[in-house]
Chains A and B, each alone.
Chain A
Amino acid sequence: MSDSRGETPKHFDFSRKTRPHEQGIQWFLFLCAALSILVTIGIVYELLKESWLFFGDPEVSLWEFVSGTEWQPVIGQLGIWPLLSATLMTSVIAMLVAFPLGMMVAVYLSEYASTKVRGTLKPILEVLAGIPTVVYGYFAVTFMTPLLQSIFGNDIVDVYNTASAGIVMGILILPLISSMTEDALSAVPRSLREASFALGSTKMETSMQIVLPAAFSGIAAAFIVALSRAVGETMIVALAAGAGPNFTLNPFEGAETLTGYIVRISGGDISYNSIDYNSIFALGLVLFLITLTLNIISRRIVEKYREVYE
């Protein structure tokens, strides 16, 4: 049994080795992930910097900006309300269309539809969600506005109006609401439904009184995410809602939204350091804060009110 080669057996070293290239890879991956933070910092920094320049301008006063009801940069009128009210109008109309419809579609898909029907309907709704927003804008201009005009008359409905933009935006966010709500409804355990049936409830009563309340947090989150999407939506309002700030609550009049204004101004040739250039960043900051707040609220709701079932 002697060692024929006369060498001592090699000992394996099991202690932790440092592997420089593995460390390097880890660092590289970390930097890639950290890039997203840089993007956020870039957004916040640029929005704040340009807004600072905007409000630093002697012609601009912060008070007028938050309270003024006229937006005419040419003559120094810089009140945000006409733009903000148009954004609210289109978003509210969109939610009025999309939320009830989206909820009903979700209840149908999750509670009533057979597996086969669900298998065909869900891809159709996904197609609806995947269509570029500019196509919806085209749809609003070429179909919805003429339709509204033929229903209510040309004197009442302007060529550009917030109603048309809002309704079409509702169609755009409907799949978002229905798919988020459907996910929430499907997460409610079967046992809850069966208990309800055992007590003699009808299918509708089970759906509306047991499953919907049980999925409340998911539905609330869907509502807020959809609202945030509607506020930030651009192309539909840029094409259909009108190209001129207008402080009105009439849905059949044209009115320019925050996003519509940013697109129209930046679409032309703007010179850096002009009041126009700075103003779109100030409005961008307002938009960013609104959507960020909505997104944070929606995540809070999910975290706080989520019912965890076994």
Chain B
Amino acid sequence: MNSAPEEHITHRHEEIMANIQQRRIRGKVWQALFYLATTIAVLALVILILNIFNSVFGYVLIENDVEPETLVASGNLEDMENRELIALLEENLSTGLIRRFNSEGPLEERSTEDLARLVQQRIINPTIIESWSLWESIFEQDEIRTTRSENSGTVLQFRSWLTIDFLRSPQNPRPQLAGIRTAFLGSLWMILIVMVISFPIGVASAIYLEEYARADKWYNRIIEVNIYNLAGVPSIIFGLLGLAIFVRLLGGITQGRTIVSAGMTLSLLILPIIIINSREAIKAVPASLRESSYGVGATKWQTIWHHILPASFDRILTGTILAISRAVGETAPLVVVGASTFITVDPDSIFSKFTTLPIQIYQWSARPQEQFRNVAGAAIIVLLVLMLSMNAAAIITRNRIAKNRRV
């Protein structure tokens, strides 16, 4: 037997095995990379959320003008009688201020809780001189204690920046008193206006494009291409449009930089998204439904109104709510349209000046003081909860409608 070919075969065999081994290893390496990339993406979301909570809770160092213990032995203001609290207020505050409080609601008739809050704000007047994040509060306690001992007459307190008072108070130049009441109401107004304007127009456009428009007509093609292009226009450009048209040109009707101008700008912004989503929903209705409706002699509109819309309404609604929740989070166009930087009065009509949650977050994040970042973090949680509950409402409504659906 000649050994040469056999040797050759073994050699080839080894070569092939080595090659396969190498390819397998390369496959494993890439697979590990794919895992890693996905982990990074998920990790980014986790860090993003943890970072918010990190700044919403933590220790703060408070300096009081007057120690509560000097006013009442227990240090708890609510242990005092109303009479004593009023006496305290009258003793320490100017008569003008007392007169103002009395005109808002006579001091004698106020609750102990309310009076105690006034004393707290006006006489004790706590100022936060330093704040720490949750991370620092847990892992750098020594440093925090040193800072505290360096500042005599201060109180160290663990504080949540997200409180009931934060939701109830209007804006305030001092971070510990700032709240989001006006911004939250502004956001609710936006939701209302956007819903009223963009939902009917968006669904009507979608019905036209899906059910009526003949693709061979040039104007229908233009409308279609145009909607896709509009969906890709940066939101800040819509802000410029709103500024030029709604604020300036129609300023006589909208009264300038008001809720209605901003609401209409946002409505135009999400209109293409609502149209595209609604078209998808209508497209998903089976052709058999249409044909059976025509088969029993229904007209086109009867078919749409009685069959196509009910059959696709759950999907249309979900698409619309998702689009509106995008509008709730929009900031740039509203800044351009002219959101107010500081308002403490509740917006009471569509012609009020406005601010919204994202605008507040933007303004607070842009300030250099550390404490405003804590406040911004708390506002972000409120915004995310608002958006989340809208999405949850969309899902619940969809499931409820889907249960009663005929097709």
- Enumerate chain A interface residues (CB-CB to B < 8 A): 19, 21-22, 25-26, 28-30, 32-37, 39-40, 42-43, 46-47, 50, 100-101, 104-105, 107-109, 112, 121, 124-125, 127-128, 130-139, 141-143, 171, 174-175, 178, 202-205, 207-208, 225, 228, 231-235, 238-239, 259, 262-263, 266-267, 272, 280-281, 284, 287-288, 291-292, 294-296, 299
Would you call B331 and A234 a contact (CB within 8 A)? yes
B364 to chain A: closest residue by CB: A138
**Number of interface residues, chain B, beta carbon within 8 A:** 85
A selection of 19 A-B contacts at a CB cut-off of 8 Å is A22-B301, A32-B204, A32-B205, A36-B272, A39-B271, A42-B245, A46-B244, A130-B326, A132-B329, A134-B329, A135-B329, A135-B361, A178-B41, A202-B23, A205-B23, A238-B362, A266-B239, A295-B228, A295-B229
Kindly state the separation between the CA atoms of A143 and B53 in the bound complex, as whole angstroms. Answer: 12
Contact among A26, A32, A108, A135 with B38 in the assembled complex (CB-CB below 8 Å) = A108
- With contacts A202-B24, A232-B235 taken as known, whether A108 is within 8 angstroms of B332 at the C-beta atoms is no
Q: Does B48 count as interface, using CB distance less than 8 angstroms?
A: yes
Contact among B44, B208, B227, B329 with A128 in the assembled complex (CB-CB below 8 Å) = B44
Residues of A within 8 A of B41 (CB): 101, 105, 125, 128, 171, 174-175, 178
B376 to chain A: closest residue by CB: A138
Q: Does B222 count as interface, using CB distance less than 8 angstroms?
A: yes
Kindly state the separation between the CA atoms of A225 and B231 in the bound complex, as whole angstroms. Answer: 11
Would you call A101 and B332 a contact (CB within 8 A)? no
Would you call A134 and B205 a contact (CB within 8 A)? no
Kindly state the separation between the CA atoms of A145 and B350 in the bound complex, as whole angstroms. Answer: 39
Q: A128-B41, A204-B30, A239-B362 are in contact. List 15 more A-B contacts (CB 8 A).
A: A36-B226, A36-B275, A39-B241, A40-B226, A105-B38, A131-B329, A132-B387, A138-B52, A141-B373, A205-B27, A232-B233, A235-B332, A263-B236, A291-B233, A292-B233
Please give the distance in Å from A136's CB to the nearest CB on chain B: 8
Please give the distance in Å from B211's CB to the nearest CB on chain A: 8
Residues of B within 8 A of A21 (CB): 301
- With contacts A202-B23, A238-B362, A299-B228 taken as known, whether A143 is within 8 angstroms of B51 at the C-beta atoms is yes
B361 to chain A: closest residue by CB: A134
Residues of B within 8 A of A22 (CB): 299-301
B373-393 vs A: 1/0 string, CB under 8 Å?
100110010011001000100
Q: Which DSSP category, helix, strand, loop or mixed, fits chain B's interface? A: helix
Kindly state the separation between the CA atoms of A42 and B205 in the bound complex, as whole angstroms. Answer: 18
Please give the distance in Å from A291's CB to the nearest CB on chain B: 6
B350-386 vs A: 1/0 string, CB under 8 Å?
0000000010011001100000010011001001100
